[in-house]
């Protein structure tokens, strides 16, 4: 197969571009129809359909790779390749950490709060081509950004949920009402988000029980 050279004169390249677009449009229509059929089949038959398509296209049913197999593959890998992949992983992680969109709040005036809340997905699936060649770069570029986003956002969401659960469980006890009122004061006037309030609540509870135990032992 030879590459076609096109002299850009204002007309020739436009003809080539139109031909490429027409070819892509035709291929895209066929692909979309096939994919829609596969998705509908999977939605209807579930895991059985997944296994069937995996055996048809990949030549093997889906399976879980045991940790011992991963460890053995790692031990058999060239140390130089491991070092290169670890360096690439660190670079990808550093880059995507700078791209994170963070939650923020703005107290514009009394009783008016604006902002945005960013939450990561709790679980994602990634696709790594594995036909006639291995693509470790695809694993790194798919998995690491997802891990960066999910690790930070889901962790923060869990902290807030735990703090709120403690609050709901404790509000029925009158001696905890000052902590409840303190939380509203902090939220309204100190511009601390829910995660910060939850952490403050955990610290207050820990200090309360610490001094309670100390008084009991005195």
CA 103, 137, 122, 39 torsion-angle sign: positive
Residue 181 pLDDT: 62
Q: Does residue 164 register a pLDDT over 50?
A: no
Residue 100: helix, strand or coil by DSSP? Answer: coil
| Residue 44 pLDDT | 93
Confidence of residue 212 (pLDDT cuts 50, 70, 90): confident
Mean pLDDT on 70-78:
91
Kindly give the pairing relationship between strand 112-116 and strand 104-109. antiparallel
pLDDT tens figures, 91-126? 999 998 888 888 888 888 888 888 888 777 777 777
Closest to 182 in 3D by CA, of 198, 195, 169: 198
Q: Is 99 helix (H, G, I), strand (E, B) or coil?
A: coil
Please name the residue that has the structure tokens 């695809």.
138
Provide the pLDDT for residue 40. Answer: 92
Tell me which residue of 159, 155, 135 sits closest to 147, measured CA to CA: 155
The tens digit of pLDDT for each residue in 126-141 reads 777 766 677 888 888 8
| 2-31 pLDDT, tens digit each | 677 888 888 888 888 888 887 777 666 677
Cβ atoms of residues 99 and 118 within 8 Å: no
Supply the pTM of this predicted model.
Answer: 0.49
Please count the CA atoms within 13 angstroms of the CA of 63 that sit on its side-chain side: 9
User: Quick check: 128 and 134 in contact, CB under 8 A?
Assistant: no
């Amino acid at each position: 197969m030879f590459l076609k050279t096109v002299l850009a004169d204002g007309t020739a390249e436009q003809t080539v571009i139109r031909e490429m677009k027409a070819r892509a449009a035709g291929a895209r229509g066929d692909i979309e129809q096939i994919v829609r059929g596969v998705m509908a089949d999977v939605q209807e038959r579930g895991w059985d359909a997944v296994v069937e398509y995996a055996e048809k296209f990949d030549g093997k049913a889906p399976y879980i790779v045991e940790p011992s197999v991963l460890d053995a593959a790692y031990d058999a890998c060239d140390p130089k390749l491991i070092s290169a992949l670890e360096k690439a992983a660190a670079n990808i992680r550093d880059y995507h950490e700078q791209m994170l969109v963070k939650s923020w709040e703005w107290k514009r005036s009394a009783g008016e709060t604006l902002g945005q809340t960013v939450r990561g997905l709790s679980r994602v699936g990634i696709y790594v081509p594995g036909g006639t060649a291995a693509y470790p770069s695809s694993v790194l570029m798919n998995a690491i950004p997802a891990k960066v986003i999910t690790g930070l956002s889901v962790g923060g969401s869990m902290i807030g949920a735990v703090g709120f659960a403690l609050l709901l469980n404790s509000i029925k006890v009158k001696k905890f009402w000052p902590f409840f009122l303190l939380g509203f004061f902090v939220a309204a006037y100190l511009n601390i988000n829910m995660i910060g309030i939850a952490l403050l609540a955990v610290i207050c509870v820990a200090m309360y029980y610490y001094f309670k135990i100390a008084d009991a032992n005195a």
